[in-house]
Amino acid sequence: MKWFLDLFSSSLGRKVLMALTGLFLTMFLAVHLAGNLQLLKDDGGKSFNMYAEFMGTNPLIQFVSKGNFALIIIHIIWAIMLSRKNRQARGEVGYAIAPKKSTWTSRNMGILGTIILIFLVIHIRHFYSEAHFGSIPTQVYDGKEVKDLYGEVVRWFKVDWYVALYVFCMAALGFHLWHGFTSAFQTLGLNHMKYNGVINLVGKAFAIVVPALFAWIPISMFFV
């Protein structure tokens, strides 16, 4: 097992952990977005609430969801470890003029990640924990009583500062993905002339479309 520990404590192994967890989390984003888009359905929140109920009770989903939390935590912890190590690698005296031949996004994944983390905390506090542990009103659909998470969302999405924060954080997510998506492939060694174009295209498209759709929901609901 020593080799396994060596692998994930090496500079390359740490990166690969970031890449793998990152890629899994992007998949999660896609799934989450699919759910959120049901908020826009004009059925008074029925599909969204049913969906939330399903997600909240299905044992498999629950398992994946816990795993998802674990991955987020690993992604964060390893990011902190990497950043610390990388800062140390510069040495005690840094440059008077910072290096600049790279994109701002790629240099500031930590800052972007921190914004996303803050968002996550608020987000989980408002929705996830409310849905799971909170006492929010219920709705009955087809004889089944489910929590009215939709109502909760509508309430928050009418709060101007919350919507602004949400949109801002989605922008940060976009930039995080802008670099992170393709970067993960490079880290995993998947750099090949034949596929780089596609990976790049998908990565950039994902980084724009997914956060934009996420952000569109509160905006549209705010102005309704």
List residues binding other proteins (CB under 8 A): 3, 6-7, 10-16, 82, 85-103, 106-107, 109, 179, 183, 186-192
Least Å from the CB of residue 179 to other proteins: 7
Q: Is residue 203 classed exposed, middle or buried when 0-12, 13-18 and 19+ CB atoms within 10 A define those classes?
A: buried
Half-sphere exposure of 213 (CA within 13 A, CB side): 17
- To the nearest whole angstrom, how small is the minimum distance from the Cβ of residue 33 to other proteins? 25
Nearer to other proteins, 60 or 96 (CB): 96
**Residue with smaller CB distance to other proteins, 90 or 223:** 90
Least separation, in Å, of the C-beta of 127 and other proteins? 31
Q: Decide whether 52 or 109 has the Cβ nearer to other proteins.
A: 109
Q: What is the rounded distance in angstroms from the CA atom of residue 202 to the CA atom of residue 186?
A: 14
Comparing CB distances to other proteins, the nearer of 147 and 176 is 176
Asked if 151 and 39 touch (Cβ cutoff 8 Å), the reply is no
Q: What HEC string does 177-194 produce?
A: HHHHHHHHHHHCCCCCHH
Task: Locate the DSSP E strands across the chain.
Answer: 138-141, 144-147
Least distance (Å) between residue 155 CB and other proteins: 39
Please, which residue, 60 or 98, has the CB nearer to other proteins? 98
Task: Tell me the HSE value of 16 on the side-chain side, using a 13 A CA sphere.
Answer: 12
Joined together, the tokens standing for residue 136 give: 């929010």
Closest approach, Cβ 104 to other proteins, in A, equals 10
